[in-house]
Amino acid sequence: MFEEAVIFATNAHAGQKRKGTDIPFIIHPLEVAAIVAAITTDEEMLCAAVLHDVVEDCKDISIQDIRMRFGARVASLVDQESEDKSKSWQERKGSTIQFLKNEASRNAKIIALGDKLANIRSMARDYREIGDQLWLRFNMKDKNMHAWYYRGLTEAFQELAHYKEYQEYRQLVEQVFGSPAE
């Protein structure tokens, strides 16, 4: 089933690039799946990790499509990772933090941690190279807003603090945004 999910995600994200780069987008969900695989061997979670952006970023794919092809649990995990693009950036990110703090299952938090760790790794790498120019590639160009979001996620992921992936995430957030007191 995982191989099928990889093929599905690769086809769904065909032609998409990471923001502000020429890197094929599919690299991101594959990295998320690799991070999740370091925590669990649960195949449905690995499928959800590689599929986590298809509904949000591919207009022709719905949660129903995921449910029919990969089952209810994978669809539920993907749905928990999908943001409502009709809301503003700040509303979406605030909702994500609150959902992960108060409602998300542990499994959904693990997939979200994989997603956000992959993102902050990329941001840290690019920030070292281009500095504050990094923020210009995003819809939200205010570094302080990104800091608010990623620090809020650090707190939301607290249940996962015993994983080395959480520790790496926390360290990279501090590296990119500084300590909260700064």
Question: Are the C-beta atoms of 105 and 80 separated by less than 8 Å?
Answer: yes
Is 3 a catalytic site residue? no
CATH number where 115 lies: 1.10.3210.10
Are 159 and 178 within 8 A, CB to CB? Answer: no
Residue ranges of E strands in the chain: none
- Count the domains in the chain: 1
165 vs 38: CA distance, rounded Å: 8
Phi, psi of 132 (to 5 degrees): -65, -10
pLDDT (0 to 100) of residue 181: 57
Catalytic residue among 42, 56, 159, 174, which? 56
Measure Cα distances from 30 to 97, 137, 170 in Å.
Answer: 23, 22, 21
Q: Nearest-CA neighbor of 13 among 63, 60, 54?
A: 54
pTM, to two decimals = 0.93
Amino acid identity, position 80: Q
Provide the residue range defining the domain that includes 144. 2-177
Tens-digit pLDDT profile for the chain (182 aa)? 999 999 999 999 998 888 878 889 999 999 999 999 999 999 999 999 999 999 988 889 999 999 999 999 999 999 999 888 789 999 999 999 999 999 999 999 999 999 999 999 999 999 999 999 999 988 899 999 999 999 999 999 999 999 999 999 999 999 999 876 55
Instruction: Copy the structure tokens of residue 32.
Output: 């998320």
- Domain contains 53: yes
Instruction: Enumerate residues 6+ apart whose C-beta is below 8 A from 168.
Output: 117, 121
In a domain, 182, yes or no: no
- Asked whether residue 172 is domain-assigned, the answer is yes
Task: Please state, in angstroms and rounded to a whole number, the distance separating the CA atoms of residues 79 and 56.
Answer: 9
86 located within any domain: yes
**Amino acid (1-letter code) at residue 58:** C
Residue 29 lies in a domain: yes
Catalytic pick among 42, 57, 159, 168:
57
Q: Is 57 a catalytic residue?
A: yes
